[in-house]
Structure 1
């Protein structure tokens, strides 16, 4: 079986593939366009030789060689044009005569060899492997001109690229030049020997197979497209580099929320290998159980993207990382869901810095409030009137309750919320020390759920407690009477319930908190409104207040 026509035919298939693939990478690139045309021209060359070599007669062989002449005549013009564009010789290409000089010889010789004058049927010889065409030492001047044309053009291209490698700034350009020059030179040498020298010497034992050898530089150029990106700088060519080197973690999810791809940064942050992370559900790396709702945007027709959502993710060893998450849906041309991109930016260090600054802020606020309390204490010593001194003492306690809130905040783990029962205990201890006579006649009974409140809630709660407990100390137990002040803080459904009660002498029967002239109770009313809550009171047995505000 003669495998040479089969080899030539497979060469034709490869050339067409290279042409289409290269043009798809970036149809606007001049280099891509020229290389694509080069592959088509070489495909014509291979297509003609596929049928010439096994032809049944010399006449059929000559017909197919004329078809192939379009390829083996014009290809050298394209090689020179390609080398000028590759090496950046735009100064030459801008001159009006450049394109006629480059392409006129190729077009002329293609016309010459397709015409009846360019080939002689007597020069076709059938070998054991198929038909070949023999030149003669005494061939015509145009045949010699053709050999001179392709030799000059190929050598000019090699020299241009070699000179370019000498002045190239980047290693990738030098590698590109080395690949092209070495493959061009080797293939040119083999092609000249098999397709020209041996036929001229009358020693052609195989059909012309230069077109098969030419696959080597064609593949080298195609390889350079993928490896060194020199034929195009397009998003399609650079997307892999961007993904591999981006500073954020990137996960691709399928339509079921399972991971199908992870870039190196994502693997580094999460501590997984590629094998370990592929097919894992996205919920497995989200620290917040409710965070799986991120993937619910696929069911929301009005929302296809999430940007900069602050969440925590879990690494392989269950360490929590603070991240900003952005996610968007991937859909096909028909709007059907293909999956999702899941990008996360590590903000752990930033959060640490923010926490450090926030601690410093709360610490300074606490210190400033303590200074104010101390100044009020010093100022109160200038007065003998007990009413004035009591007013200063009440103001001190108000300031101290706010100071205590900021002290608790900068000592709390998350710098955002305070544990209520601990805060109430410390606050009542401070008030107790202010008003206690030292004989323990008034007891404190504190019952508080372990709940957490943020600063905008805890400060009003602290001031309310300060006012109500202070009133109980000052007015509920006259003449050294004993008693109990009870404080309860619980959560019921969607509300917090704060209850302050004493078993003292109580309020007058006609007491109305809304019309009371007491500054302390006016402050309490104002703070309850700030909490968007309600207040109830009971004066039937001692004095009791029940304050409710929403748990939002």
Structure 2
């Protein structure tokens, strides 16, 4: 009866932690892989509730075969979860992907055809005592399959941990390796130990499942496994800000954005959230350089002049404040980008009747670029750039670059 109560507890724990994982981030590949693992474990534990009760032999065999879905499927689930966590699944050859699916299916077919390694069982004080045939092929397929799949999965996790520069990921990987070694190696051994040593005792592999589930729960709380905490601003707060506010991932992908960006650029939500923020900046290289500087210096950096692309082809002059975000491990986890409309700049541009091409050159001049660098960015000859600059001087009554920069430098919307 003890194992029935334990299995019921494992079943509830699996359901709880699966729901938590999906709630934290339902789109994350690792969260989905872990949910698959917990579903398979929950099938095993649910069947174990009835299997370990004092029931008829036919009923016990029925629940044994249902239970087998769990520990056969776990061979696939554990290696799949490790490959996803280590980011190697997409690089895995198709043959190996097919093998880890076909292997447990073939094993389960053997069990359905009475080729399993459990030949008989009796009812003990704590649950079913199994008579295991250690010479059967299914015995080696289950236990060696479980151990080998765990070794392969842990190898990739260890390899990914070694390559990663993130302290958080290293801590998560270390914790996953420790709990996996305990559950994946000692669990199978505890199941066959009673038979090997002639003990009249039920298999206790489910105890090590509890250790694994508990370890994952600890990693979720201590090292934020399966979590993404990039939703730093609630919509009702960020949407009330008149400036464009964007939260980007370490890969510059847009994670959160307020409604001002949609209003100013006319792009739809789906389009923007599938892009990198630099895709909307005319000079994306300059933005990337400033972002890297902000990360290295761990300080806010301001780009005084930039151009924002819109759906209808209009280029909006903006100034950008880059605020890098670091976690308690000092890992860079993203950035908050604040873009302010340069309305006064636009007024001066219109006042002096400066053309769109001249406006772009004016912004490059204010960034300190030489005529040659401006020509390279705009795909113009240096002579053509000089002609444009001469026209800008003429329109704004400027004698040189210093006068032009002074004219526009007074237009700074940031406090």
What is the TM-score with the length of structure 1 in the denominator? 0.41
User: Which range is displaced more, 221-230 or 157-166?
Assistant: 221-230
Q: Residue 128 of structure 2 corresponds to which residue in structure 1?
A: 131
Match of 1:168 in 2: 164
Q: 1:238: which partner in 2?
A: 230
Which SS does the other structure have where 1:123 is aligned? strand
* Corresponding residue number in structure 2 for 1:216: 211
Instruction: Please give the alpha-carbon distance, in whole angstroms, between the structure 1 residues aligned to 2:217 and 2:30.
Output: 12
C-alpha displacement of 1:49: 0.8
Q: 1:194 to 1:58 in 2, by over 3 A?
A: farther
| Cα distance per residue 1:210-258 (max 9 Å; x no partner) | 223212222322443444344353xxx433xx36xx9xxx999xxxxxx
The residue aligned with 1:101 is 99
Report the Cα offset of residue 125 of structure 1: 2.5
Q: Secondary structure at the match of 2:26?
A: coil
From 198, 214, 221, the equivalent of 2:194 is: 198
The 3-state SS of whatever aligns with 2:132 is coil
What is the aligned partner in structure 2 of residue 87 from structure 1? 86
CA contact 2:88–2:156 (8 Å) conserved in 1: no
Q: Secondary structure at the match of 1:238?
A: coil
Could you report, residue by residue, the CA deviation over 1:312-331 in whole angstroms, capped at 9, with x for unpaired residues? Answer: xxxxxxxxxxxxxxxxxxxx
Give deviations 1:336-357, integer Å, cap 9, x for gaps: xxxxxxxxxxxxxxxxxxxxxx
* Kept after mapping to 2: 8 A contact 1:198/1:204: yes
TM-score, length-scaled by structure 2: 0.53
Residue 114 of structure 1, aligned match among 87, 97, 112: 112
Tell me the CA shift for residue 79 of structure 1: 0.9
In structure 2, relative to structure 1, the CA distance for the partners of 1:4 and 1:96 (3 Å cut) is closer
Q: 1:201 to 1:134 in 2, by over 3 A?
A: farther
Query: Is the contact between residue 194 and residue 204 of structure 1 (CA under 8 Å) also seen in structure 2?
Result: no
Asked if 1:177 corresponds to 2:177, the answer is no
Counterpart among 168, 183, 191 of residue 187 in structure 1: 183
Match of residue 228 from structure 1? 223
Shift of 1:307: 4.9
- SS of the aligned residue for 2:110 comes to helix
Q: Distance in 2 between matches of 1:57 and 1:119?
A: 20
The residue aligned with 1:53 is 52
Is the 2:154–2:177 Cα contact (8 Å) retained in structure 1?
yes
Instruction: Measure how far apart 1:87 and its partner are.
Output: 0.9
Q: What is the CA distance between 1:103 and its match in structure 2?
A: 1.4
C-alpha RMSD of the superposition: 3.0
| Distance in 2 separating the partners of 1:90 and 1:208 | 32
* Mapped partners of 1:195, 1:204: distance in 2: 12
| Contact map agreement 1:8 1:209 (CA 8 A) in 2 | no
Structure 2 partner of 1:34? 33
Listed as ranges, the gaps of 5+ residues in structure 2 are 243-415
Which protein has greater RCO, CA pairs closer than 8 Å, 6+ apart? 2
Identify if the C-alpha distance between structure 1 residues 36 and 115 changes in structure 2 by more than 3 Å, giving closer, same or farther: same
Aligned length: 244
CA shift for structure 1 position 10? 0.9
Query: CA–CA distance in 1 between the matches of 2:196 and 2:97?
Result: 31
* Structure 1 equivalent of residue 308 of structure 2: none
Residue 73 (structure 2) aligns with: 74
Change (3 A) 1:30 1:199: same
Is 2:145 the partner of 1:146?
A: no
Paired residues for 1:270-289 under 5 Å: none
CA distance in 1, matches of 2:109, 2:198: 26
Given that residues 13 and 213 in structure 2 are in contact (C-alpha distance below 8 angstroms), is that contact kept between their aligned partners in structure 1?
Answer: no
Distance 1:37 1:49 in 2: 19
Q: Which residue of 1 aligns with 2:336?
A: none
For the Cα contact (< 8 Å) 1:22–1:222, is it kept in 2?
A: no
TM-superposed deviation, 1:174: 1.4
Quote the Cα distance in structure 2 between the aligned partners of 1:127 and 1:113: 23
